[in-house]
Amino acid sequence: MKIGLEVHVQLPTESKMFCSCPTTDAEAPNTHVCPTCLGMPGSRPVLNKQAVIYGIMLAKMLNCSIDDTTWFSRKTYFYPDMSKSVQITQYDHPIGGAGMYYLNGKTPIRITRIHLEEDPGKTKRVGDLSSLVDYNRSGIPLAEIVTEPDLKTPAQAREFLGQLIADIRHVIDLPGDGERSIRCDCNLSVGVERCEVKNVTGLKNVERALTFEMIRQTKILKSGGKIVRETRRFDEERGVTISVRKKELESDYGYIDEPDLGIFHIKNMVDSIHIKESPLNMTLRLVKQYGIDENTARQLVSTSTKIAEIFEELAKTTDVQTAISWTTGMISANWKAFEMRDESHEHIIELVKTFKDGNMTDTECNLELKSFMTGTSVESVKNASADLEVIINKFLDGNPEIVEDSRKNDKAANRVIGHVMKETGGSYSSADIVAATKKLISARF
């Protein structure tokens, strides 16, 4: 079985790709439009520099080769979501080609290309099958990442996409919400001919759509049938793929070069752009550089790459074990609250160093950290913490077997967490309960 993906990423620019219309969510349909994104005769596109910068960043992330010269093409297709009947995209000189991306840092997945293109408008069908079109989305910049058919199973495709999305979000600071989204076209073949399932959103749906398609194609071939190359869509509610239209051949799109935009020489931009380390690369580097467990490294990076950076600072100024203990414990537990505050993390480092130097007890450091990270007074933290500890201790007194079980089974403490949540009606965060439970159980060993 062969699976290849085409991943469409909306780039987080403030204005559209070829005109200055805003990319923010609009209050009403067709209000963020102009003659260019409506494809009116006489209008001319002008390329957004930031879209090119994001394209180069992603091409670098995917280890693509990037030529100095790039340009755009017109892809002809007739559908109401593209009012000028051509989509401005890239064909024979995309921004990046022949890349390589490693799943889990090990399995190589070849990247055919990454190109820039404009998003079409949104079409909705009404009762009599006529269409209503909103062109607010028309012209939003997209990067399309095309893989070679190197993925072997629907589960692997899901894993790949999850990792890719996390890396993309980190490298180009892509917001995780709103209209900006990542859509996926999934190509799957169990024999000779492939089918494409268009516009699947969400990791789970990608796996579901591919699994359905795998079973459907296998059944056809087993019964002596033939797979017809076609485009299908995924019905999320029913979990099935449905034939949409016979797929156009590449030649039907009638690609021609886009003369209005001309050509672009991007070598200087490419040389001046440096990308942030991706979460996966950071995870692998932490394991190698500090000799820590891969799951711990992954936990740190997935909570926030900033926590991983704090870990590195602490590992250098204290020691690796102290750094792990505080970053995976108290610092991770209060990270969400800390992110809401516009504070530097310098004080966190100072507090842990003070503890390590022996000028503060473990309990004092916990209180000071929580107070600083949540913006509440030490006194309030102390009271809340004391109340929480009373509840936990009382439960442990009544159920001493939990302490014994915890020696062999990490999950034994879950009973305490469940009890406290129920008892306090959610007054304490689960992270706080976990941290306090671990501390009090350890004290009884």
Partner 1 sequence: MDRDIIERVARAAHLALTEEELTRYSKDLDDILDYFKVLDEAPDCEGIGVNPIEVADILREDEPHMDIDTDRLLRDMKTYEGYVRGPRLS
Return residues touching partner 1 (CB under 8 A): 13-15, 20-24, 28-35, 38, 40, 46-52, 69, 71, 77-78, 80, 123-125, 128-135, 248, 252, 257-265
CA distance 389 to 422: 15
Q: List the beta bridge partners of residue 101.
A: 109
Taking the least distance from each CB to partner 1, the nearer of 48 and 332 is: 48
CA distance 279 to 301: 6
Beta strand pairing call for 195-201 and 230-235: parallel
Taking the least distance from each CB to partner 1, the nearer of 5 and 59 is: 59
CA distance 5 to 88: 21
Taking the least distance from each CB to partner 1, the nearer of 265 and 341 is: 265
Report in angstroms how near the CB of residue 102 gets to partner 1 at its nearest.
31
User: End-to-end CA distance of the chain, in Å?
Assistant: 52
Report in angstroms how near the CB of residue 67 gets to partner 1 at its nearest.
10
Report in angstroms how near the CB of residue 122 gets to partner 1 at its nearest.
9
Taking the least distance from each CB to partner 1, the nearer of 121 and 154 is: 121
Report in angstroms how near the CB of residue 312 gets to partner 1 at its nearest.
32
For residue 380, how many C-alpha atoms fall within 13 Å in the half-sphere facing its CB?
A: 7
**Whether the Cβ atoms of residue 156 and residue 188 lie closer than 8 Å to each other:** no
223 contacts: CB under 8 Å, gap ≥ 6: none
Length of the chain: 445
Report in angstroms how near the CB of residue 143 gets to partner 1 at its nearest.
15
DSSP code of 36? Answer: T
The number of angstroms, rounded, from the C-alpha of 76 to the middle of its chain's C-alpha atoms is 31
Taking the least distance from each CB to partner 1, the nearer of 8 and 247 is: 247
Taking the least distance from each CB to partner 1, the nearer of 266 and 403 is: 266
